[in-house]
Amino acid sequence: MRNVPAHYLVWGAASLVALPATAAPVLEEVFVTAEKREESIQKVPISIAAFTEDSLEKMGVKDIKGLATKVPNVYIKEFPSGGGTTIQLYIRGVGQNDVQVTQDPSVALYMDGVYIGSSLGTAFESADIARIEVLRGPQGTLYGRNATGGAINLVTNKADPSDLYFSQRLTAGNLDQFRARSIVNVPLGESTAVKLGYSYSEREGWVENIGNGVDFGIEERDNITADFHWSAADNLTLDYKYDRSTLEDSSRLSQIVVYSKDAPQAFLLQFANPNTDANGNPVEATTDRLDKATSFDEQLRGDSEINAHTLDLSWEINDTLSFRSVTGYRDLDNFYQTSQSPTTALVLGADMFSVTNALSTTKFEQFSQEFQLLGTTDTLDWVAGLYYYEDEAQDAGGGDTFGSETVPDELLIDRTSTDNTSIAAFGQVTWTPRDLERWHFTLGARYSDDNRKATRLNSRVSYGFGGAPSGVPAFEAEYDKDFDEFNPSFTVEYDLNEFANVYAKVVTAYKAGGTSQRSQIQAAFEEGFEPEELTSYELGYKGDLLEGRLRVNGALFYMEFDNYQQSVQSSHNPAGRDFVNIDTADLTGLELDVSFAVTEHLIGTLSYGYLDSSFGPGSISYRRENAAAEQGFIVVEEVLTDSLAQAPEHSATASLDYTLPLSFATLNANINVQYQDETNSGVVIPTGVQDDRTLVNATLGLWDIRLGDDAGTLRVSAWGNNLTDEEYYLSNVRLEAFENLGVGEIATYGDPRTYGVTLEYNYN
């Protein structure tokens, strides 16, 4: 483990000391559904961060990517080749470094109990989020095969038969931001209700495109939800939800940050404004964030549409036994233009070459069914369940990184289709012995059986300069493999007193194997990669101290991988990638969350995360396309970095929340600061490095302004994000394929300073 500042160790040790508590907590109690039943967050032996609708508004979070840097040891970013609508999730350094229909994410994303099977289109906004739960660490027992890093639960508000409710929110800000959200809940009787929600948001691109097409970084999204609730009996409820989202964003600018004029073919490229000298000659690249650039090809908006249906049936069989059925269907129709090439900030100096941003279309369809049986006795709390999941996808991409007028369009198409199924049985039981009521023993297990199929038509005959074939043949290949895994877990909890407890647990999880839709090597596509397995050991403490004014939650953990999955470049074309298994990878870390009620009106929160990660072997070997040889590929060996990608060693958040009741309203003020240490963007040397970042956000508002009897309330808030206008990378990639052109590395930047005002009216 690398050296850790002494004050961090003292801080972490202090979090494991149980101070006496004799009064009800001053801090608000938070309830979550992390273990399939509603429980206080202080009673769940998981490292959890949970955010209510009000706390999300105070932090300026509008969608899931807004949680980036808000939770220590959680790293969230846009996928640079996803057209601005695809999110990559990392928890404790575990995540998905490439987004493909043939490979699963490592952090499970759920909405209202339904697993979202594709990372494409996950930048959606929902009109009525009630709570977001971030479960740090593997969740293999209750959440299944794709939760090796953890899970994120999005929970929306349901229709309510007891309340006629209306809400209208309007937001305006810089960059021509405009947001509108409308919600109406209408009881249809004592047992039924409907709730309709609509949200719309738009923002101009903050990097001007002085070439062809739209600006970079445009956002335009809308969301429609329709909820129906029916209390069929005192012990039986049914909730149906329809959710439709559209996203028409444009890609962020991919900006060159490492460039060499002395490369053999660097003369082919010249920088667009403002990166040329008076004679139009190339100059050195800048790491300053650009506010304008030239796109040679036409820059297009993406077009994504998501339709989701959820049916949730709950039956309280008796006082000790309940049954739940969650049925989910989701389809995605996605078009986007990738900008993960150096071309968006460059133009060509020779007419014979055409720079293209590849166009991709994806159709993804999934169905899932989960049955849960939950029971409670004097000494046992248990849950058992069955799970079924299937998805189908078709993905087509066109446009080589360097095309030519002599290359027929039909040879610039890749097509991949997938057909996946997964079934699982799971159970978890917690035993509290009558004579040892402070002790709780939890045993869990899950058995998963997965089948993954894929077909790839690679008709992208890789062409070089001037339209000369590179020597890599087109191919058509199939992949079909089965995987199964048994994942046990064991947890011991001990109640120090009524308000504090400690726990120790061992958890296992796995992610199925698969193949790469970007593979340029037929044998590699047909062989694929092996499952990824993870074992985690964790010690934790949760306590409400000082008569409920202080809340301290901490966790120490060690996680060990077997067959860690990682995407590597296996072609001269940067789009050509394969997944490899790295023998071992280890992570050691700490998470600490502290909340303190300084006064009745002022609450301070401080959270810290530490990660130390490393790989077992010092290098990896894999097949790479060889354009100059008849065999089609060569075996190369790469040296691994000293830590995992997207795994910053230190991360922290701090916030102050001030609330003051007034005679006519409530004054709310919040300032929050997030810090994230530097981190590698890849695992092979050399790789890009994303520098450390510190982001400052704040809100100030008057909430619950009373407008008179039965006239509703008003809420007015001024807000600002990234107030210091920090320039930071969302992603950066080393481009070996373009070294001859002088391009060594490109990066996409996070948002500049944004600010605005929100007005909200509520009636109930």
Digit-coded pLDDT (tens) for 192-220 = 999 999 999 999 998 888 877 889 889 99
Confidence check: pLDDT of 444 > 90: yes
Confidence check: pLDDT of 390 > 60: yes
In a domain, 81, yes or no: yes
Q: Is residue 227 within 8 Å of residue 194, measured between CB atoms?
A: yes
Looking at this protein, which amino acid is placed at residue 530?
A: E
Lowest-confidence segment of 10-19, 533-542, 584-593, 608-617 by average pLDDT:
10-19
Task: Output the six-digit token pair for 625.
Answer: 């396309």
The CA–CA distances, whole Å, from 123 to 67, 177, 427, 681 equal 11, 17, 32, 21
* Four-residue CA torsion sign, 407, 408, 412, 414: negative
**Portion of the chain with pLDDT greater than 90, in percent:** 55
**Portion of the chain with pLDDT greater than 70, in percent:** 85
Confidence check: pLDDT of 505 > 80: yes
Could you report the per-residue pLDDT of 423-435, keeping only the tens digit for each? 999 999 999 999 9
- What is the band of 15 on the pLDDT scale with cuts at 50, 70, 90? very low
Bridge-based pairing of strands 402-404 and 413-431 is unpaired
Across the chain, mean pLDDT equals 84
Note down the domain range covering 62: 6-349+357-612+619-763
Cβ-based neighbours of 709, under 8 Å, separated by 6 or more: none
Give the other-Cβ count within 10 Å of 449's Cβ: 15
Confidence check: pLDDT of 731 > 50: yes
Interval 270-292 mean pLDDT: 58
- Of residues 398 and 103, the one with the higher pLDDT is 103
Give the pLDDT score at 571. Answer: 78
Single out the residue of 134, 167, 151 nearest to residue 49, CA to CA: 134
Looking at this protein, which amino acid is placed at residue 14?
A: A
In a domain, 30, yes or no: yes
In a domain, 568, yes or no: yes
Interval 1-24 mean pLDDT: 39
Alpha-carbon gap, residue 520 to 426, rounded angstroms: 38
Task: Output the six-digit token pair for 393.
Answer: 């996808």
In a domain, 1, yes or no: no
In a domain, 746, yes or no: yes
Which position has the token pair 């952090």? 107
The CA radius of gyration of the chain, in Å to the nearest whole number, is 26
Give the pLDDT score at 636. Answer: 86
Q: Where are the beta strands (DSSP E) in 626-742?
A: 633-639, 650-661, 666-676, 679-680, 689-690, 693-706, 713-721, 729-734
Helix H or strand E encompassing 338? none
Residue ranges of the alpha helices (H) in 21-80? Answer: 53-59
Could you report the per-residue pLDDT of 647-691, keeping only the tens digit for each? 999 999 999 999 999 999 999 999 999 999 999 988 888 888 889
Confidence check: pLDDT of 466 > 80: no
Classify residue 189 as left (phi > 0), alpha (psi -120 to 50) or beta.
left
Looking at this protein, which amino acid is placed at residue 89?
A: L
Interval 215-233 mean pLDDT: 94
* Four-residue CA torsion sign, 516, 520, 526, 532: negative
SS (H, E, C) 100-136: CCCCCCCEEEEECCEECCCCCCCCCCCCCEEEEEEEE
Q: Which CATH number does the domain housing residue 527 bear?
A: 2.40.170.20
Overall pTM surpassing 0.85 (yes/no): yes
Cβ-based neighbours of 276, under 8 Å, separated by 6 or more: 270, 282, 283
Query: Which range has the top average pLDDT, 76-85, 278-287, 396-405, 604-613?
Result: 604-613
Helix H or strand E encompassing 523? helix 522-527
Confidence check: pLDDT of 705 > 90: yes
Helix H or strand E encompassing 527? helix 522-527
DSSP string, 634-659: EEEEEEBPSS-TT--SEEEEEEEEEE
In a domain, 87, yes or no: yes
Confidence check: pLDDT of 621 > 70: yes
Query: How many domains in the chain?
Result: 1
Give the pLDDT score at 650. Answer: 96
Which position has the token pair 């039943």? 37
Exposure pattern of 144-174 as b/e (b: 16+ CB <10 Å)? bbbbbbbbbbbbbbbbbbeeebebebebebe
Give the pLDDT score at 82. Answer: 63
Give the pLDDT score at 472. Answer: 52
Measured at the alpha carbon of residue 563, what is the angle toward residues 557 and 565, in degrees to the nearest 5?
Answer: 90
- What is the band of 737 on the pLDDT scale with cuts at 50, 70, 90? low
Q: Is residue 750 within 8 Å of residue 758, measured between CB atoms?
A: no
